[in-house]
């Protein structure tokens, strides 16, 4: 099962063999024997890669559950140890990871020297079960009901621009005026190129256009600082820019979507010690509020 899962995950026998540090022929033989025993074809094979068949996809998902339960059973035995051990697999947003999370992770690993970590920084939403990830740090709204989430801190979306841009193009006082401005667009933003604002009972949805679209918030903050347009972005990305005066908040009497920083994990009956301690560690680190908060909120 482990070999089959790795072949499916790597989309090939060679990559799976390299990952498992065994020969390609052994990998191929094990999968063939598995298919013979089950009496079905699990993989479509081509000269370039392999892909799951329909029944292979069903079997793959069940294998993930079974292997996860085996790992949890072994971890239950290691609960008798005073310190967690093994590998903690984590995914976190790119900019948040570099600015804030990496330091926290280093502190956690120093606290538990028998533990190591595999971290995948990306702004895309990674499926935890499909990618064999233990825990994810996410920003936004939780939509996946199969995951359990713990709210760590508020995240506020702010609209910002550089002083030079505002001097050259004027400062918008109503969201509708953004139609006449160059706006910096985030590829993964909920709502796409439409920005949402509200003030009291008034709600405004504004389609925006601009010079730069990017899949990374830090890149857009740099573009805003360079005077390329107006940016709608989480406060943790631009807090330091605002403190130094490189960026100025605009439309401050308008609210946007409510967001938060979460730590999420699969809904499993047994939560391993390494994951439980890590979640508690993050919760404690943010118990006094977010270090980037601009408004003093908690």
164: how many CB neighbours lie within 10 A of its CB? 12
SS3 category, 12: coil
Q: Please, which pLDDT band fits residue 164 given cuts at 50, 70 and 90? A: very high
- CA 46 vs. chain centroid, Å, equals 32
Mean pLDDT within 24-47: 91
Report pLDDT for 297.
38
Report pLDDT for 295.
53
Residue 74 or 168, more confident: 168
DSSP-assigned states of every residue in 16-73: HHHHHTS-HHHHHHHHHHHHHHHTS--EEE-SS-EEE-HHHHHHHHHHHHHHHHHHHH
**What is the end-to-end Cα distance of the chain in Å, rounded?**
46
| pLDDT tens track for 238-291 | 999 999 999 999 999 999 887 889 998 887 656 778 888 899 999 998 887 777
DSSP-assigned states of every residue in 191-230: TTTEEEEEETTEEEEEE-B-S-EES-HHHHHHHHHTTS-E
Mean pLDDT within 176-183: 93
Report pLDDT for 145.
64
Closest CA to 90 of 281, 286, 292: 281
Which token pair is 14?
């060679």
SS3 category, 9: helix
Which residue segments constitute the domains of the chain, with CATH numbers given? 2-78 (1.10.10.10), 86-154+259-285 (3.40.190.10), 156-257 (3.40.190.290)
Distances in whole angstroms, Cα of residue 119 to Cα of each of 67, 180, 213, 257, 286:
20, 41, 26, 28, 20
| pLDDT tens track for 47-80 | 778 899 999 999 999 999 898 888 877 776 766 5
Report pLDDT for 177.
94
Report pLDDT for 144.
60
Report pLDDT for 169.
94
Q: Please, which pLDDT band fits residue 296 given cuts at 50, 70 and 90? A: very low
- Determine if the pTM surpasses 0.85: no
Q: Please, which pLDDT band fits residue 22 given cuts at 50, 70 and 90? A: very high
Q: Please, which pLDDT band fits residue 191 given cuts at 50, 70 and 90? A: low
Q: Residues with Cβ < 8 Å from 30, sequence gap 6 or more?
A: 3, 4
Query: Each residue of 200-228: b (16+ CB within 10 Å) or e?
Result: eeeeeebebebebebebbbbbbbbbbebb
Q: Please, which pLDDT band fits residue 81 given cuts at 50, 70 and 90? A: low
Answer whether residue 298 shows pLDDT above 90: no
Report pLDDT for 128.
74
Which token pair is 176?
């509708």
Closest CA to 284 of 142, 99, 107: 107
Mean pLDDT within 104-108: 91
Residue 230 or 139, more confident: 230
Mean pLDDT within 4-30: 92
Answer whether residue 138 shows pLDDT above 60: yes
| pLDDT tens track for 193-251 | 899 999 988 999 999 998 899 988 999 999 999 999 999 999 999 999 999 999 999 99
């Amino acid at each position: 099962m482990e070999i089959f899962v790795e072949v499916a995950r790597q989309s090939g026998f060679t990559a799976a063999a390299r990952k498992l540090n065994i020969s390609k022929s052994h990998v191929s033989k094990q999968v063939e024997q598995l298919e013979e025993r089950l009496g079905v074809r699990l993989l479509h094979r081509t000269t370039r890669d392999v892909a799951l068949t329909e029944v292979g996809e069903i079997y793959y998902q069940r294998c993930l559950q079974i292997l996860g339960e085996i790992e949890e059973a072994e971890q239950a035995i290691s609960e008798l140890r005073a310190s967690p051990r093994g590998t903690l697999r984590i995914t976190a947003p790119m900019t948040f990871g570099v600015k804030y999370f990496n330091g926290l992770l280093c502190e956690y690993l120093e606290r538990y020297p028998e533990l190591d970590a595999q971290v995948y920084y990306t702004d895309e939403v990674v499926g935890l079960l499909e990618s064999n990830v233990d825990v994810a740090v996410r920003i936004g709204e939780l939509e996946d009901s199969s995951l359990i989430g713990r709210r760590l801190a508020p995240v506020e979306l702010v609209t910002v621009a550089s002083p030079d841009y505002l001097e050259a193009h004027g400062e918008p006082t109503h969201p509708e005026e953004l139609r006449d401005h160059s706006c910096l667009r985030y590829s993964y933003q909920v709502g796409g190129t439409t920005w949402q604002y509200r003030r009291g009972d008034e709600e405004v949805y504004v389609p925006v256009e601009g010079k730069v679209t990017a899949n990374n918030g830090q890149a857009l903050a740099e573009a805003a600082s360079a005077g390329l347009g107006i940016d709608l972005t989480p406060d943790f990305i631009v807090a330091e820019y605002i403190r130094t005066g490189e960026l100025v908040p605009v439309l401050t009497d308008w609210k946007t979507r409510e967001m938060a920083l979460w730590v999420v994990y699969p809904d499993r009956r047994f939560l391993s010690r390494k994951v439980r301690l890590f979640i508690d560690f993050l919760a404690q680190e943010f118990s006094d509020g977010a270090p980037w908060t601009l408004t003093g909120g908690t």
